[in-house]
Homo-oligomer: A and B are copies of this chain.
Amino acid sequence: MLRAIFFDIDDTLYSTSEFSEVARSNAVGAMIEAGLSLPREELLQELDEVIREFSTNYEHHFDKLLLRLPKRFYRGVNPAVVVAAGVIAYHETKIRQLAPYEDAIEVLRLLSKTTLLLGIITEGLEVKQAEKLVRMRITPYLSPNAIFISNQLGISKPNPKIYQRACSDLNIKPSETMYVGDNPRHDIDPPNSIGMITVRMRRGGKHHNDEGQTRPHKEVQNFWDLLDWLRQEFQIQA
């Protein structure tokens, strides 16, 4: 019997890759408008390097970007204004574009009317990941005590303990629990290893062509496929 489904956030509930591309492009565009005289493509490449070098969870990418560039490219302009323009444009993109896949929100809404417990197991900083959930307006469909964020637990994917912790906190057996994610090595292999039911969401993103060591129980391309399988295989009446 299936009692709970946990979801990954990034590139599962929304297209992280697409969002990041638009947000970075808008930020760089605003920095150019604020007085930074370099071609957009060059700035985007430099920003990608900054993000790779300082990690996506670092909070001052645009400051670092500016530090790397010779001052002649913003001569006579206060660099803080250039950075602020980038930060504001990035944030405004969050408001407009950080939205879940339409089928994700629809299927979560349908599943929330069943007896299934719905939750999140995600890798990242607590407030940053929680912000995504609030902006996507999906918290009403989740059990408030079933949101597990790696940085809050002190356990990072791919350590299977993060999956174990979610199950034990909610007092559910792994075999009665499903995990849905896009990354085979982080979202499929570890929950498989503790006996959870695993679903690979394969609709793009940077892990689209990755392979893990084990196979998921099911591979789907969207949430409607997932819902069909839940109905057929687990007699979920949604």
Binds B, one of A87-95, A100-108, A181-189: A87-95
B134 touches A85 (CB 8 A): yes
> Does A47 count as interface, using CB distance less than 8 angstroms?
no
Encode contact with B along A62-74: 1 for CB under 8 Å, 0 otherwise: 0100000000000
Check: A57 CB closer than 8 A to any chain B CB.
no
Residues of B within 8 A of A130 (CB): 78, 80-81, 83-84
A78 to B139 alpha-carbon distance, docked (Å): 11
Copies in the complex: 2
Q: Assess whether A160 is interfacial by the CB under 8 Å rule.
A: no
Chain B minimum-CB-distance residue to A133: B81
Across the interface, name the chain B residue whose C-beta is closest to A131: B84
A158 close to chain B: CB less than 8 A: no
Structural contact, B35 and A77, CB atoms closer than 8 A: no
Secondary structure type dominating chain A contacts: helix
Pairwise interchain contact B134-A78, C-beta atoms closer than 8 A: no
Q: Are the CB atoms of B34 and A88 closer together than 8 Å?
A: no
Contact assessment for A147 and B78 in the assembled complex, using a CB-CB cutoff below 8 Å: yes
Whether A88 touches B144, Cβ cut-off 8 Å, given contacts A80-B127, A80-B129, A80-B152, is no
Task: Say whether B81 contacts A134, CB under 8 Å.
Answer: yes
By a CB distance below 8 angstroms, the chain B residues around A77 are: 144-145
What would be 24 A-B contacts, judged by CB atoms less than 8 Å apart?
A: A34-B134, A35-B144, A63-B127, A76-B144, A76-B145, A77-B144, A77-B145, A78-B126, A78-B130, A78-B144, A78-B145, A79-B126, A80-B126, A80-B130, A80-B152, A81-B130, A81-B133, A81-B134, A81-B147, A83-B127, A83-B130, A84-B127, A84-B131, A95-B95
